[in-house]
Structure 1
Amino acid sequence: MPSHFKTKFKRTVRKVFFFLGLLALVAVTLPATGTPGFDGAVNVIGGAEAKPGGDQNIERLIRGASVRILMKNPVTGRTSFACSATLAKANQLVTAAHCFDEQKISGAGAAKYLAEVVDPQTGKITLIPFASVTGACPPALEFAANTCDVAVATLTKSVPEGRAVAVCERIDFTKGRSFIVGSGLSNEDESAQNSPLKFLELEYRETLGNPRTLSAPVSGTQRPCSGDSGGGVLYIEKGRACLRGVHSGSQVNDRPGLSAAESCRQAKNPVTYAVNLAGRAHLVSKLASGETPSDEETGRVVPQANTPRTSAGAR
């Protein structure tokens, strides 16, 4: 994380850290029909390291559509990991709005962001600068539970065909499989020459008293905590994938004597959020064109006093 982000983060969020992780028991209240409402809490309990499943075709689809967002230091030229994202078109990424300091970015401000695209077959890495970014939320309203914490970035050039996934229609999601995707803090390494993408399969089961809740079982003893913001919830059925939602952010209380990473790893009940995109391709298209949507289009709510807000320095 760049030094200026660390300073901003410590100054503005001393008591609460915001992260999104592929964590342990991930529970998402979501109607099985995929109607809007995928903006509730994702309750995370315990700790687990997300590991790919055994289906190579599913892994190929997920890895092909998912990328990391890097930030280039204008002075040193070095890159650092910022957020996760999903290719919605060959030259468009869908991610979280709170990954950026401004609602609309273009020119040199956008070019400092890079899409790290990895060929799932060969492992070849391609870095593509951003041309522009438009978020559905202005910075003053980007907070953990908001339904408008989504942004679209346009790239300066397209990636190879066949990797992007369309936004899901409102369908019966119980017929296929859903996965939560991202890159976690435990993999963050500015010198790393790979994209440590991880994902967990979500299943409908009774969790926290709700029989129609998406969750992922606990497996393992560690969990990534940061950098998953902007990662997708992908739905796969009969060999085809679509983008069902986008991770937004979560809050973890600071623990004295522990780093932000350790506070996240040891948190017992962090709460995370996601934004529903099913049936909302028009919202993604509007953001891609550089237009900002209305409150009615996003379902945006105004935060109450003392409501935690996500921070660009704490992804």
Structure 2
Amino acid sequence: MADIRRRMWSVAGLLAAATLSSGLLTTAANASDRDALTAKVPPIVGGQPAKIADHPWVVYLTDTQGNQFCGGTLAKANKIVTAAHCVSGEKPELVQVVAGREDKQTSEGKVAKVTGIWVHPNFQNANSGADVAVLTLDQELQQQPLAVAEKGDTSLYETGKTSTVLGWGATAEGGQASQTLQKAEVPLVSDQECQKAYPQYKSDAMVCAGLPQGGVDSCQGDSGGPLVVENKLIGIVSTGNGCARPNAPGIYTRVATYHDDVQAQLGS
């Protein structure tokens, strides 16, 4: 599998990224990254505005300067589930979580500091699986958490099942980041079809979602955000070949596979 990660810069790298021209990515690997973007780099492709009141558990991650670089899901009052590649190697004090804020230009909601970062021990990169992390916050948030898919939730992963992905990422490949929360509905793709698009696809670690003709997808800046089916977190925005390309569905972390590990971090 080619380098199709959706995260480009580390949190510290956002400062250097600010010197680049708006929306321009400088390397081939960066051009298909889906997460560490400044507010000037694009949201979900083919989506529509979403109300934070309808999705109170969706959050976004920022550096200490307030630059958004990934998404996440509130799974417990003080715990956030996100992608490992969003925070691997980062120091907790350099990451913040913003909850209850639909428009990034406002001061609504709550900004929480991160006191701990757990990255799945099997994580190497977004292409190899185990792309899941849990953040511990310095406070308990008032927003309603989202349930995490369990190993027995096989029906939630049925081919063709409609899923919802949310985020503040790019609205077009190489485009600008959304200032407001976006959502899109995409059908789950069979393991066989995803294997055709990505030969190294791992069905036990990943799940794909998208349309054969493309046009609807998560994109840069959406990494770590939720893929939801029937009010459960079944996937985490992880990787993909560009954004919304034909026959190139988005790849998401298969949350049910890692339920026990995540639950251990969430506690009782």
8 Å contact kept, 1:251–1:272: yes
Indicate whether 1:226 and 2:220 are aligned.
yes
Residue in 1 aligned with 2:234?
A: 244
Relative distance call for 1:271 and 1:4 in structure 2 (3 A) is farther
Rounded to whole Å, the distance in 2 between the matches of 1:86 and 1:153 is: 10
Rounded to whole Å, the distance in 2 between the matches of 1:250 and 1:181 is: 16
Residue in 2 aligned with 1:180?
A: 165
How far the C-alpha of 1:5 sits from its partner, in A, is: 5.4
Indicate whether 1:168 and 2:149 are aligned.
yes
Relative distance call for 1:159 and 1:217 in structure 2 (3 A) is farther
8 Å contact kept, 1:137–1:150: no
CA-based RMSD of the aligned residues comes to 4.0
Rounded to whole Å, the distance in 1 between the matches of 2:218 and 2:140 is: 30
1:2 counterpart (3, 14, 20): 14
Indicate whether 1:158 and 2:140 are aligned.
yes
How far the C-alpha of 1:151 sits from its partner, in A, is: 0.6
Rounded to whole Å, the distance in 2 between the matches of 1:134 and 1:6 is: 28
How far the C-alpha of 1:281 sits from its partner, in A, is: 2.5
Residue in 2 aligned with 1:304?
A: none
Give 3-state SS (helix, strand or coil) of 2:67's partner.
Answer: strand
Rounded to whole Å, the distance in 1 between the matches of 2:191 and 2:118 is: 35
Amino acid at match of 1:86: T
Relative distance call for 1:273 and 1:204 in structure 2 (3 A) is closer
Q: Which has the larger radius of gyration?
A: 1
How far the C-alpha of 1:272 sits from its partner, in A, is: 3.8
Relative distance call for 1:288 and 1:224 in structure 2 (3 A) is closer
Relative distance call for 1:287 and 1:125 in structure 2 (3 A) is same
Q: Which has the higher contact order (CA 8 A, sep 6+)?
A: 1
Q: TM-score, normalised by structure 2?
A: 0.65
Q: TM-score, normalised by structure 1?
A: 0.56
Residue in 2 aligned with 1:111?
A: 93
2:33 counterpart (2, 6, 19): 19
Indicate whether 1:275 and 2:253 are aligned.
yes
Q: After superposition, give the CA deviation of every residue in 1:77-127 in whole Å (9 maximum; x if it has no partner).
A: x3211101011111111111111241xx6xxx312211111256x982211
Residue in 2 aligned with 1:215?
A: 210
How far the C-alpha of 1:207 sits from its partner, in A, is: 11
8 Å contact kept, 1:97–1:151: yes
8 Å contact kept, 1:207–1:215: no
How far the C-alpha of 1:203 sits from its partner, in A, is: 2.8
Report percent identity of matched pairs: 22
Alignment of 1:56-95 (within 5 A): 60-61=53-54, 63-72=55-64, 78-95=65-82
How far the C-alpha of 1:49 sits from its partner, in A, is: 2.6
Amino acid at match of 1:166: A
2:264 counterpart (271, 286, 308): 286
Relative distance call for 1:152 and 1:224 in structure 2 (3 A) is closer
Stretches of structure 2 that go unaligned for 5 or more consecutive residues are 1-12, 20-25, 36-43, 195-206
How far the C-alpha of 1:214 sits from its partner, in A, is: 4.3
8 Å contact kept, 2:34–2:220: yes
Relative distance call for 1:245 and 1:268 in structure 2 (3 A) is closer
Give 3-state SS (helix, strand or coil) of 2:139's partner.
Answer: coil
How far the C-alpha of 1:2 sits from its partner, in A, is: 1.9
Amino acid at match of 1:168: A
Amino acid at match of 1:14: T
How far the C-alpha of 1:234 sits from its partner, in A, is: 1.0
- The structure with more strand, counted as a fraction of residues: 1
Stretches of structure 1 that go unaligned for 5 or more consecutive residues are 8-12, 22-46, 73-77, 190-194, 253-263, 290-315
Amino acid at match of 1:67: V
Rounded to whole Å, the distance in 2 between the matches of 1:279 and 1:15 is: 31
Q: After superposition, give the CA deviation of every residue in 1:113-162 in whole Å (9 maximum; x if it has no partner).
A: 11111256x982211111111111577x21x322211110011101115x
Relative distance call for 1:19 and 1:132 in structure 2 (3 A) is same
8 Å contact kept, 1:177–1:235: yes
Rounded to whole Å, the distance in 1 between the matches of 2:251 and 2:208 is: 14
Relative distance call for 1:286 and 1:187 in structure 2 (3 A) is farther
